[in-house]
Structure 1
Amino acid sequence: MSKNPFETALATLAEASELAGIEPNVVKMLSQPKRVFEFAIPMKMDNGELEIFTAYRVHYNDALGQVKNGLRFVPNLDLDTVKALGFWMTIKHAVGGIPAGGGKGGVRVDPSKLSEGELERLSRAYIRKLPMKGAWVDVPGADIGTSAKTMAWMLDEYEEINGFHSPAAINDKPAETSGTVGSMEATGTGAFFVTMEVIKDLGIPKGATVALQGYGNVGRIAARLLHQEGYKIIAVADIHGGIHNPEGLDMPELEAYVDETRSVVDFPGTTPITNEALFALECDILMPAAVQSVIHEDNARQVKARVIMECANGPVTPEGEKILQEKQVHIVPDVLTNCGSAIVCAFERTQGLTDSYWDLETVNARLKERIVKAYRETKATAEAKHTSLRNAAWINALTKVSKSMKARGWI
């Protein structure tokens, strides 16, 4: 069983490129990143001790434009994960019609063990030591363990280094620092827009049941919007544990509870549930919205959901997907479902470059238009090629990247 995320990405590349008729030299170039940076960040901690943190940045492919997005501060970060995430971001940008390449990176650290001052020093040090950066080269954004706050520190450090303002150099920063409204909610909002299209296409009735693994920015927003539309959230899990109520959870009450306790665990009126039990629940829609490789050959047979919306990056392994396809589970892939943030980050860069800023209604209207178009294009290719939505999304993306590589004379 392969749970290596980069092997998962390469397996999808192999299958989709064959279906799309992508020539071998393009596949060869896309089988490894264009640039890989691994660097040490030595930092004096509050107690006076020196810690040395390992940091990464991958420029996977920049045929469509500057690389963008994604910095993770997590304790288990490794290069294969960063490479996979950079590859998925390359595909995600192409799927979403964004003129940008895929970048990903981060630091191997547990941010919960850092003081506020240590987190700020580490954020600033990452940008200082990042070899290539800037609005036309590499635009980092937030991911797990980073936030609008850390991105604001990074922008400030970048501008201090260069001696001029450059709001388009960093994504996912607060609106107060020339960011965009709707940035932190974008992935969940985009996932909601795609889910509503899938619900319409499959004839899933209002009041249908949803189980959610992951209750960060993505899961929380998607669950809130689905609940407002009349869908029943019956289970939610976060990093600390899970909760279940077959009659449906009161999502506004749960949000208030999580704001107070920092976890869904022990929410009144629910019973505890593990991730594995959550994946096996009888439900209409399953939304893995946490980390990669959580549904695999060992647990895919227990999945009873009609639809899986991949809100996380690579939550289903290739082996798991084969089993789910045999069970006729409808899988909407990550590169489509969660590309809302990538789309809004493109809007953020555009606003920063033009010094013209949009309101939330404009951001969400343009996000909906862009992501629904991406879904419709993916669905059309899936039907034309008689293949999965994942393969269809990758076929469309690989075709765009391949054409740009050829036009540039790379192939």
Structure 2
Amino acid sequence: MEEKKGSQKSNELLRSTLLQVERAAAHLSLDAGILKLLQEPKRCLTVSIPIRRDDGSLEIFQGYRVQHNLARGPAKGGIRFHQDATLEEVIALAALMTWKCAVVNIPYGGAKGAIVCNPKELSLAELERLTRRYTMEISLIIGPEKDIPAPDVNTNPQVMAWIMDTYSMQLGYSVPAVVTGKPIELGGSLGRNEATGTGCVYTIEEAASHTGLELKGASVAIQGFGNAGSVAATYLGDLGCRVVAVSDTQGGIFNTDGLNIASVKEFKTRTGTVAGYPDATPLTQEELLTLECDILVPAALENQITVTNASGVKAKIVAEAANGPVSVEADEVLYQKGILVIPDILANAGGVVVSYFEWVQGIQHFFWSQDEVNRELRQRMVSSFRDVYELARREQVSLRTAAYMIALSRVEKAVSLRGIFV
């Protein structure tokens, strides 16, 4: 049987995630049995999703929903639509969500979901039918007190609205808290769409402050110009940084004097890509990752910086706006080079932090202003960064290992207090 295209990367992400847990656990006095429990997903649901295509043909898609750990609260995690999604990838991403929620100290466990499809090949009506049928198939394990989905790669507030509506139809009344990342009109939170990029910038500000890097005039390269990457680019530009390079799946652009981010965003909206932007030089993804710059923000997919190109990374700070963009071997190379890596479970946690705020607002039916959301987000991201940074300095480990140590300790404590039912 031919190996699925995304299998190798998915297996690598899962391997890296498990290895990071083991490395952090080596610095803690964890019971071997508890460690094994923390490495295993609690529940993996695989579903077949039949839909009628617009031409009347029947097609079967495959979907997943994985709940990794529920010791600290209901499961939380996005749903992605991607043709290369695999169960191994979803398991790894669910585990990352467990550690992400724990490191920023919000009362959730980790989950993740996916539908194996290329959404660009589906009409809007087909996407709606696919989303609604998938929701029906996973409805037995999701709910505002059980498992709360959110947007991820190739999903958005409209997809969340379809999920909320489908779930609510089964119960006979509206349940806005079943998902986060919803449209504002349906109980979404102000600031949620920008939260991942905004939260990432808050950690970059802290990292720069702790390392003495002056942000005004600092050069920035951003791989991935979707939601997180474009928001981070805008915010960093507002702080006086010089965003010299950005990229998307179709190519990258470079301007040593700094790109006009508003103009680049308008160009991408009009053309569907940053590639071909007139006031810049084309460059490849590989060239972007190894540019001479102060700050590198990988905001695309996993395993972009590997042992083969890590030695070429020249940034002073790497902020992982994507999940798992640096392989475990590459992480060691960057650490030995003295590059400060803000790990994904901290750097991109802004999305789940504001998802938590949205969930709280939905349950209380009381909504916050944009300023209140951003103030609470900044406080949470800054205090979490400082906890991680101080532990890393004290234990002489990388920020990633320190973040995992904090996350593992919190989840292990919850597991131990609840006990093992036999």
TM-score in same-fold range (> 0.5): yes
Aligned residue in 2 for 1:64 = 72
Aligned residue in 1 for 2:373 = 363
The partner residue of 1:265 within 272, 275, 291 is 275
* Structure-2-length-normalised TM-score: 0.96
How far 1:182 sits from its partner (Å)? 1.1
Q: Which moved more, 1:85-94 or 1:25-34?
A: 25-34
- Give runs of aligned pairs for residues 63-212 of structure 1, distance below 5 A: 63-130=71-138, 131-205=140-214, 206-212=216-222
Distance, in Å, in 2 between the alignment partners of 1:23 and 1:237 is: 44
Unaligned runs of 5+ in 1: none
1:51 and 2:76 aligned = no
Distance, in Å, in 2 between the alignment partners of 1:179 and 1:7 is: 35
Aligned residue in 2 for 1:293 = 303
How far 1:203 sits from its partner (Å)? 1.2
Distance, in Å, in 2 between the alignment partners of 1:396 and 1:300 is: 26
SS at match of 1:19: coil
Q: Which moved more, 1:72-81 or 1:319-328?
A: 319-328
Question: What RMSD, in angstroms, separates the aligned Cα atoms of the two structures?
Answer: 1.1
1:353-382 residue CA offsets vs partner (Å, 9 max, x unmatched) = 000011111111100011111101111111
Distance, in Å, in 2 between the alignment partners of 1:321 and 1:390 is: 9
1:15 and 2:42 aligned = no
Distance, in Å, in 1 between the alignment partners of 2:208 and 2:335 is: 19
Distance, in Å, in 2 between the alignment partners of 1:249 and 1:319 is: 32
How far 1:21 sits from its partner (Å)? 2.1
How far 1:192 sits from its partner (Å)? 0.8
The partner residue of 2:350 within 326, 330, 340 is 340
1:372-395 residue CA offsets vs partner (Å, 9 max, x unmatched) = 111011111111211110011110
Distance, in Å, in 2 between the alignment partners of 1:72 and 1:32 is: 21
1:283–1:305 CA contact under 8 A, matched in 2:
yes
SS at match of 1:140: strand
1:331 and 2:341 aligned = yes
SS at match of 1:70: strand
- Give runs of aligned pairs for residues 177-256 of structure 1, distance below 5 A: 177-205=186-214, 206-256=216-266
Amino acid at match of 1:333: P
The partner residue of 1:410 within 407, 410, 420 is 420
1:22–1:398 CA contact under 8 A, matched in 2:
no
1:168-224 residue CA offsets vs partner (Å, 9 max, x unmatched) = 111111110011111111100100111111111111121010000000000000110
Distance, in Å, in 2 between the alignment partners of 1:329 and 1:369 is: 25
Q: Which moved more, 1:19-28 or 1:180-189?
A: 19-28
SS at match of 2:408: helix
Distance, in Å, in 2 between the alignment partners of 1:152 and 1:183 is: 14
Distance, in Å, in 1 between the alignment partners of 2:59 and 2:192 is: 32
SS at match of 1:301: helix
1:113-164 residue CA offsets vs partner (Å, 9 max, x unmatched) = 1101001111111111103111000111100011000000110111001111
1:192–1:222 CA contact under 8 A, matched in 2:
yes
TM superposition outliers: structure 1 runs of 4+ over 4 Å: none
Aligned residue in 1 for 2:392 = 382
SS at match of 1:52: strand
Distance, in Å, in 2 between the alignment partners of 1:167 and 1:202 is: 42
Aligned residue in 2 for 1:396 = 406
SS at match of 1:68: strand
SS at match of 2:151: coil
Distance, in Å, in 2 between the alignment partners of 1:287 and 1:194 is: 12
Amino acid at match of 1:170: V
Distance, in Å, in 2 between the alignment partners of 1:263 and 1:89 is: 29
1:299-354 residue CA offsets vs partner (Å, 9 max, x unmatched) = 11111111110110010001111211221111110000000001001001100100
* Structure-1-length-normalised TM-score: 0.98
Distance, in Å, in 1 between the alignment partners of 2:396 and 2:329 is: 20
Distance, in Å, in 2 between the alignment partners of 1:322 and 1:398 is: 20
1:50-83 residue CA offsets vs partner (Å, 9 max, x unmatched) = 1100000000001000001210000000011101
Q: Percent identity?
A: 39
Aligned residue in 1 for 2:287 = 277
Distance, in Å, in 1 between the alignment partners of 2:83 and 2:67 is: 22
How far 1:20 sits from its partner (Å)? 2.1
Amino acid at match of 1:282: E
How far 1:268 sits from its partner (Å)? 1.4
